[in-house]
Structure 1
Amino acid sequence: MTLIYLMITCFLFLTLMAGMWRILRGPTAADRMLAAQLFGTTAVAILLILAQLAEQPAFRDAALLLALLATVTVVAFVHRAWQTISESEDESS
């Protein structure tokens, strides 16, 4: 079972590399934000797998914290983007 967990973790690290490429090359801020969300989700999954392998509940706590931070990040991004759209509509009127 440990081998399966390690293989899944390696696959998740590969998806992180794909996300890094999108962050560096993403044409828009939304693309970069989605890649950052991929980072958060993948990091949560990796931490949960490591918690199972190492039998350390602290990894589960760290995964929960990352999930909460990812949510706050998306809310902040959307709020900022919404303000930018509202300001541009006000200027065009």
Structure 2
Amino acid sequence: MYSFMLGAAGFVLAVVALGLARVLRGPGRADRMMAMQLLGTGGIAVLLLFSIANSLYAVVDVALVLAVLSVFASVALVETAPPDSGGAA
């Protein structure tokens, strides 16, 4: 089970790296924010897999803190974004 969890964590890291390579090329703030969200989500997944594989349940708390920080970063982006130039979405 240990090697499976570590393999799954490695797979998640590889998928996040591929996704970040694509998203970071985006020109706008929203594209970069999506990259940060992807990094946060992948980091949470890797931490949870690592904590289960090694029976380190305190790492779950670190994953929860990372999730909260990710939400705060999204809210900060939305709050500092310039208002829309008009038109209905």
**What's the TM-score once normalised by structure 2's chain length?**
0.84
Q: Identity across aligned pairs (percent)? A: 38
Structure 1 outlier segments of 4+, above 3 Å: none
Report the residue type matching 1:85 in the other structure: P
SS state of the match for residue 59, structure 2?
helix
Q: 2-side partners of 1:17 and 1:36: how far apart?
A: 12
Structure 2 segments unaligned to the other structure (5+ residues): none
- Per-residue deviation, 1:50: 0.7
Structure 1 segments unaligned to the other structure (5+ residues): none
Report the residue type matching 1:2 in the other structure: Y
> Which has the greater radius of gyration?
1
Aligned residue for 2:29? 29
Q: 1-side partners of 2:36 and 2:23: how far apart?
A: 7
How many residue pairs get aligned? The number is 86
User: In 1, are the aligned partners of 2:26 and 2:32 still within 8 Å (CA)?
Assistant: yes
Cα–Cα, structure 1 residues 77 and 69, in superposed 2: closer, same or farther, change >3 Å? same
Structure showing greater relative contact order (alpha-carbon pairs closer than 8 Å, 6 or more residues apart): 2
CA RMSD of superposed structures (Å): 1.6
